[in-house]
Structures are given as C-alpha cells and as structure tokens.
Amino acid sequence: MAPRNPQDPGDRRNPWTRPGYITAATFLAALVILAIILVATSGGGTTHTTQTQASNPTTSPAVPTSTSTTAGNPTACTLAAGNQDIPSTSPPSGTSWQQVGSMSTPQAPTTLGPQRTSGVFNTCFAHSPAGALLAAFNLWAEGTAANPSEVFQKLAVGAPKNLGNSDRLDSNGPVQFAAYKYGSYSPSKANVIVVIKGQSGGLEGIGTTMEWTGTDWRYVFPVNGVPPISRLSDLTGYVPWSAF
C-alpha cells in the first residue's frame, strides 16, 4: 500500500481506528509495523493515549518454583529465574547495549538473556520481571532485522500464519528505544509499555504483553492485530532507558 502524502489531512486520522484495516486479517502485520512507523516518526505534540496506562507495581511476585525439563537438550533455556524485583523505577542492572538490526537493545546474556541467538532471533530470557522486559525490547528491535511474519511466527503466540507483509519497523527511517513503563506482572504474564523515538523526535509508547511459555517469554499477538499505542509529549511517568 503506497504511503499517503504527509500533507494530506486524511493522514491525521488515527490509522488504528480505520475499520478497513482492523477487519482485514491479511494486513495485521502491516498495521502493527506501519502504524508504529507513521506515529513514531512524527513530531510529538499533544498527548494521545489509547488504553496503555499502567499502574506502577509495588510488590514483587514469588520466585517461580518450576520450569520445563531441559536435561539433555543443549539448546534449552537454562537461565536461573533470578531476582524477582520489578524494575518499575529504574532499569535492570548488569545490562549492556547490543546491536539488533538497526537498533541498540539492552541484553545480559548470562543473567537476564538472551541466552540463545539463532540468526537475528534472540531467545531464552530469565523467568523474571527484568527478563520479560528485555524480551520485549529485543522483540521490537528484531522488527528492524526481519519482516513481521518471521518475527511474529518465531517470537509471538497467537499470530496468524500468513501475515503477508515485509515492511520492517524502521522502513520509514531510524527508530530507537527511549523509555519504558512497567504495568502488571505475574509469573505467567508481563505487561509493559516500550517507548520508541522516531527520527524527528516523536515518542510512541507500545503496549506489549509478554507470556511465559514454560521455557521463555513470548509476545502475545493482539486479537485484532493492533497493539495499544500512545503518542507521548514527554517521558513523564516513564523510566528513561536508551543507548543515546
């Protein structure tokens, strides 16, 4: 689909609310990637929020007590669950920024993950709040290294098999991580907002739900193909986290 002229007033309408997009299953991946590009690369003006407000967690859940059997499997995820504190006020310690596609993303391979890398795909993150957060960051960075069909088939649960789209997260220009906000957490599911900054300085918060599969964290593909998106005017209420 050819992009609209940015001066066309019709483009001011939020693309997530266009019925034709939402109901067309073959464009699910295009919605996820292109809508992020369109908004993240625009200038940040007013603040527009679409169901991504998250409360700051105040307690840490119990340490997970069971994991899947990994004996005899040299490619199994074996990182210890580790610290169960929720990084709601500052980023997890012990991470470094590594290049994934065109983005720098936080990693801690021996503690939080990824423990395994196959091609452009990073897997095996710790069964902890910090592990889920790093899995979410790496997921979106991989959106600049592979097309949506590959990313979601490899790293998501509930994604349609035929997404029919090859546009990457940075197709319309460079993007980078800027911050995050932690929402709810349980040993089975984590809800975070990952903030991406576009080339013109616009800030977008992407609602990201990660599910523990028994061995690793996976992105929960939205039922309607549309992740919650917030246009932000600044990072008030978010934890700044960037390589720049």
Give the tens place of pLDDT for each residue, 84-139.
999 999 999 999 999 999 999 999 999 999 999 999 999 999 999 999 999 999 99
Query: Can you give the pLDDT at residue 115?
Result: 98
Tokens read off for 208: 């990201």
**Residue 51, burial from CB neighbour count under 10 angstroms (0-12, 13-18, 19+):** exposed
Query: Can you give the pLDDT at residue 61?
Result: 52
Tokens read off for 239: 């934890």
Tokens read off for 232: 């932000």
Alpha helices by DSSP H, listed for the chain, are: 19-23, 28-40, 129-142, 148-155
Cβ(183)–Cβ(193) below 8 Å: yes
Domain ranges of the chain: 26-55+88-240
Cα–Cα dist 16/204, whole Å = 14
Cα–Cα dist 84/60, whole Å = 6
Regions of the chain short of the pLDDT cut 50: 1-31, 34-35, 38-41, 44-55, 58-59, 65-71
CB-based contacts of 64, cutoff 8 Å, min separation 6: 81, 127, 187
Say what angle helices 129-142 and 148-155 make with each other, to 10 degrees: 160
Cβ(40)–Cβ(227) below 8 Å: no
